[in-house]
Amino acid sequence: MDKFIIEGGQSLKGEVQIKGAKNSALPILATTLLCEDEFEIDNVPLLRDIFTMKKVLEVLGVSVKFDKNKAIVDTRGAVGYEAPYELVNQMRASYYVLGPLLARVGRALVSLPGGCAIGTRPINLHIRGLKKLQADISITHGYIDAYGNKLKGSHIFLEGPNGPSVGATINVMAAASLARGVTVIEGAAMEPEVTDVANFLNKCGAKIKGQGTRSIEIRGVKKLHGCKYEIIPDRIETGTFAIGAAITRGDIFLKKANANHITASIDKLKEVGADISIEKDGFAVKMEKDINSTDIETAPFPGFPTDMQAQFTALLCLSNGVSIVREKIFEERFMHVLELVRMGADIKKENDYVIIKGVPYLYGAKVMASDLRASAALVLAGLSASGTTEIMRIYHIDRGYENIEERLRDLGAQIWRQEE
């Protein structure tokens, strides 16, 4: 296992190019299963989760090769129908093969994902939506056992108690692309990654309308074909680097970043005192003033993303006042809090929110990464802290950030990877 060593205190300066969106690339790779053809998918980030998806697809008989950030996928020939526990337990998003397998093969056996560090993550909406398309689904021996030879379009309300589901919207939209008749998903997730998958499927010949709104209409077609496609930039990576600039009083340009995908985060950055200037091929973030306190509540898109909560919490530890951060999507997603406290932060957790009293500085400490975005928060805290921070179990960060330490070093950070 590797760890990061960070010598804090350097301001991040310069330019960083934002990679493709992990949360688009994963379902797009999975939905290639809907066709028997070849694909060239560009701007795929080279991450642990992407390599896990490659393995899942290979087990199903698909060939996936990489030429730098381009994935060359060949789904011709027979495909299997089982996504085994050994792969799904490495990455929940393996469940993205469920809808496509049902639609193409009429059969899917996908391991249940199991526990997750950020709280309970049910899959009832995926199952409810696919059942509405007349799939026959049962849960047996830790597997989702699904049959669906004759999927049929339907009118589906897909929201759960915490709002829409990105994963369920994509799984149902993918399956409905090859179902007979028209499907309407009400209460659909509006995240840019859902739109990206819909645009990809349309390029493959699907007939999807309304992506990016709460109501998506899918007119089933008989067959889809391969295509060339380019994945959108990763909005969470964008936001993480933006906070890197703010927390280190730096000045960086985020090349290829799409500011429209993280408006809520940009607004909060402005509120805490950052200068943002949006240009044609990205945007710049500069922080010269004290960090103001602010309150945050996570929400489905276009609200403040839960995937930016941990990183913002790290930033607000250094504010000049008191902030409240409320987590409304994954209520238990606060594993980073106790680690930040070990670095001198003053944070109190109450139910689904934390109260952060700003401190003048954080100090280096030995801390433990617990999940992907929590580890990003610890890296950000370490960059700003005085002294040395050691972050253990950084395999979590490799799931979502390509070559993070090299790219941070290019911006002036002192960060190294070492074997634990």
Asked if 126 is part of the footprint of ligand UD1 (rule: CB under 6 A), the reply reads yes
Binding positions for ligand UD1, 290-319, rule CB under 6 A: 306-307
Which is closer to ligand UD1, CB of 39 or CB of 95?
Answer: 95
Asked if 167 is part of the footprint of ligand UD1 (rule: CB under 6 A), the reply reads yes
Give the SS3 label for residue 167: helix
Which is closer to ligand UD1, CB of 33 or CB of 168?
Answer: 168
- Closest distance of CB 198 from ligand UD1, Å: 14
Give strand ranges (E) for 292-374: 296-297, 322-326, 346-350, 353-357, 366-368
Cis peptide before 302 (omega within 30 of 0): yes
| Dist CA 361 CA 381 (whole Å) | 10
Asked if 371 is part of the footprint of ligand UD1 (rule: CB under 6 A), the reply reads no
Identified binder of ligand UD1 from the candidate list 6, 18, 26, 356, rule CB under 6 A: 26
CB distance 45 to 234 below 8 Å: yes
How far apart are the two ends of the chain, measured CA to CA in Å?
A: 6
Binding positions for ligand UD1, 171-210, rule CB under 6 A: 189, 193
CB distance 36 to 70 below 8 Å: no
- Closest distance of CB 128 from ligand UD1, Å: 8
Asked if 121 is part of the footprint of ligand UD1 (rule: CB under 6 A), the reply reads yes
Q: Which of 35, 116, 227, 317 is catalytic?
A: 116
Site stretch for ligand UD1 (CB under 6 A), options 102-110, 117-125, 197-205, 385-393:
117-125
Identified binder of ligand UD1 from the candidate list 162, 263, 386, 388, rule CB under 6 A: 162
CB distance 4 to 405 below 8 Å: yes
Asked if 374 is part of the footprint of ligand UD1 (rule: CB under 6 A), the reply reads no
Q: Which of 417, 408, 386 is nearest to 12 (CA)?
A: 408
Asked if 342 is part of the footprint of ligand UD1 (rule: CB under 6 A), the reply reads no
CA-angle at 240, arms to 411 and 173, nearest 5°: 135
Asked if 114 is part of the footprint of ligand UD1 (rule: CB under 6 A), the reply reads no
Which is closer to ligand UD1, CB of 114 or CB of 160?
Answer: 160
What does DSSP assign to residue 101?
H
Asked if 135 is part of the footprint of ligand UD1 (rule: CB under 6 A), the reply reads no
- Closest distance of CB 77 from ligand UD1, Å: 27
The stretches of 235-279 forming alpha helices (DSSP H) are 235-247, 263-272
Asked if 90 is part of the footprint of ligand UD1 (rule: CB under 6 A), the reply reads no
366 HSE (CA, 13 A, CB side): 3
Q: Is 116 a catalytic residue?
A: yes
The region that residue 344 occupies, defined by phi over 0 for left and psi between -120 and 50 for alpha, beta otherwise, is left
Residues forming the site for ligand UD1 (CB under 6 A): 23, 26, 93, 121-126, 160, 162, 165-168, 189, 193, 306-307, 329-330
Active site positions, annotated: 116
